[in-house]
Chain A
Amino acid sequence: MSIEVKHISKSFKDVNALKDISFSVKEGELFGIIGPDGAGKTTLFRILTTLLIADSGSASVSNFDVVNNYKDIRKSVGYMPGKFSLYQDLTVAENLEFFATIFGTTIEENYELIKDIYVQIEPFKNRKAGDLSGGMKQKLALSCALIHKPEVLFLDEPTTGVDPVSRKEFWEMLKRLQQKGITILVSTPYMDEAALCDRIALIQDGEILEIESPEAIVLKYPKKIYDVGASEMYLLIESLKEYTHSYSVYPFGEFVHYSDKRESFDPKELQDFLESKGLKEITIAATKATIEDTFMELAK
């Protein structure tokens, strides 16, 4: 096992950030921690990267205990905090050189690993890190986290505040790194990114709700889901909530995800109800549950 977490708890003053968390990540796995802000994702990362000591429970990374063998962990993991934390007044090349030196290696030695990423920022290698765009900063931070060829990579909300194109590119890079045998633990508040992981843990208020592959997790949704569309979104949501048989109503893009309490649901009946409310252009079509639906269901 690359990462093993057993019954970890941590609290700050009166907040229980993590409550009895357990999970394990296999070698070479891309594992996602999915949860809203304040769920305890960063606390978990800080414990695993030896920056914080848990109140109870144990954890190991690459078979090194996070408390007793913290020095070995620091040598063999790469960590990219959620907040950009490289030296803003050093240039791109200087930052990379600096982190390579600290880990006792050189850029040349592991250039192969970061090549794909670094070539994209190489044209700006003499620019100060603080002057880079958000996506560029992420790429540089990832390069610096990889420069010592880590066995495990910790990425804490790497795509928060990054544009959709850069986000997509970033996940493609992660997939390539995974193929090179690096175990990756990534946290994100975005449900669409969750589908790109091998397995995901849904976390809320310091507790793990479910650990499954993205494909399996959507099967956990207990009801059939329908895309309901109409001319007036707000009235549609209000009307669906009023409907006596409604089980859950969540806006999802241009549609509303609706599920019914009853096993035998007749779309025609709902259509009549909505028409009576004065809605036009009503569409009702069955759809598959998404991770977001599952999360909302589990988080209830």
Chain B
Amino acid sequence: MLPLIFVLPLIQLIVLSNAATFEVKNIAFSYVDNDKTPYSRGLIEKFEASTFFNVLTSFPSQEIANSAMLRGEVDVILEIPLHFERDLSKEKKTELLVIINAIDGAAAGVENVYINQIIQGFNKNAQASLIKPSDLKYPYKSITSIPSFWFNETLNYKTFMVPGILVLLVTMITLFLSGMNIVREKEIGTLEQMNVTPIKKHQFIIGKLFPFWVLGMGLLTIGLIIGKAIFNVPMLGSIGVMYFYTSIYILVILGMGLFISNFTDTQQQAMFIAWFFVVIFILMSGLFTPIESMPKWAQIITEFNPIKYFVEVMRMVMLKGSSLADIAPLLIKTLIYALIINGLAIWSYKKTS
């Protein structure tokens, strides 16, 4: 069991950190070129040059392209109208048709941005070459914004995801194991034997939960080593701050595990309830979808989500180098959470049935 507890989450960390990225790559791109001029070919070359697109096919007509989309062979169809070059040079404007497969809405949105960027770039070049001196009474003006991404300059998703996934793994393992632990004693009957001994409530609970606290810290350690060694995630902040926060955070999770244990009779029930919470916590943690984009009521619920705090703290400390003072508000909230949930759990634990 012990090797499993460590090996499985680490495989998850390595696999998920590579897989959980919001970049959309290998977009199956196709086009219908009705113009067949140097300009239309120039536009298509731009797409070919992009690493995000796999320029697959050129379709002779819109109908054939549409049926390919229906069969799921292509993600994007770009239709270049007849007289594309003529309209562009004479009338200074033309229209392009872009069809995007929006079965996966998030991917479609990203694809739309990529396509627009490429067309904008082409447009700028085209304007530069098409504008004749005689047109200078309409001087060409443009505002360009150059974003600078602080704390993650290249927007590297691994830098962003590794701390988050590490948090999930530490949480999941400690919650599942602690939740099922005391229930297991109920199931096999050892709890009854323990209950007739003079052992005190707090001794028993600490004895049952302390190993999982150590386990959680162990997982964090191995996770951080892998994050550094394999993903080269920056660790700007103090390791000590991370450990200090985690040591309190795990208390919250262990308290929850004990609480679940108290209200269930079988491991199956405990597993079911633990899953219920873990799924809600993960999807509402801000790890995959930003909390800012959630509806107001959902944002209020996230205030009760310990994973949210842990994800935030880990990202702050690792990527931004936040100090203990910076994370103090989150730390205090977590500490209060730990006190309340453990208080409830110990109160609801009874030695008599």
Contact = CB atoms under 8 A, between A and B. Distances in A.
Interface of A: 46, 49-53, 70-71, 74-75, 77, 79, 81, 83-88, 99, 102-104, 144
A88 B194 CA distance: 14
12 contacts: A51-B353, A52-B352, A53-B352, A71-B198, A75-B198, A79-B193, A79-B196, A81-B189, A84-B189, A85-B192, A86-B190, A102-B199
B188 interface: yes
Contacts of B199: 102
Interface in B188-238: 188-190, 192-199
A54 to B, nearest CB: 11
Contacts, number: 44
Contact of A51 (B188, B190, B192, B198): B192
A83 B352 contact: no
Contact of B197 (A52, A84, A87, A103): A103
A102 B197 contact: yes
A49 B193 contact: no
Contacts of A53: 352
Given A85-B189, A85-B192, 10 more contacts: A49-B196, A51-B352, A51-B353, A53-B352, A71-B198, A81-B192, A85-B190, A85-B193, A88-B188, A103-B197
Which of A51, A84, A99 is the most central at the interface, judged by chain B CB atoms within 10 Å of its CB? A51
A87 B352 contact: no
A76 to B, nearest CB: 9
B190 A87 contact: yes
Given A102-B198, A103-B198, A104-B198, A52 B353 contact: yes
Kindly name the residue among A71, A75, A86, A102 whose own CB sees the greatest number of chain B CB atoms within 10 A: A102
Nearest to B199: A102
A44 B195 CA distance: 16
A156 B189 CA distance: 14
Contacts of A49: 196
Contacts of B197: 74, 99, 102-103
A86 B193 contact: yes
Contacts of A74: 196-198
Contacts of B196: 49-51, 74, 77, 79
A256 to B, nearest CB: 40
A84 B197 CA distance: 16
A69 to B, nearest CB: 12
Nearest to A75: B198
Contacts of A87: 190
A102 to B, nearest CB: 5
A61 to B, nearest CB: 11
Given A85-B188, A88-B188, A51 B193 contact: no
Q: Taking each of B190, B193, B195, which has the highest tally of chain A beta carbons within 10 Å of its own beta carbon?
A: B193
A7 to B, nearest CB: 20
B331 to A, nearest CB: 36
A116 to B, nearest CB: 22
A167 to B, nearest CB: 21
A46 B195 CA distance: 11
A99 B196 CA distance: 11
A81 B193 contact: yes
Interface in B120-136: none
Interface string B164-194: 0000000000000000000000001110111
Contacts of A79: 193, 196
Contacts of B198: 71, 74-75, 102-104
Contacts of B193: 79, 81, 85-86, 144
Nearest to A141: B193
A50 B352 contact: yes
In the complex, the 10 A-B pairs of residues with the closest C-beta atoms, listed nearest first: A85-B189, A85-B193, A79-B196, A83-B189, A75-B198, A74-B198, A102-B197, A49-B196, A85-B190, A102-B199
Nearest to B352: A51
B194 to A, nearest CB: 8
Contacts of A104: 198
Contacts of A99: 197
Contacts of A144: 193
Nearest to B204: A102
A79 B188 CA distance: 16
A49 B196 CA distance: 7
A102 B189 CA distance: 17
Nearest to B197: A102
B311 to A, nearest CB: 35
Nearest to B1: A89
B71 to A, nearest CB: 56
Nearest to A72: B198
Contacts of B188: 85, 88
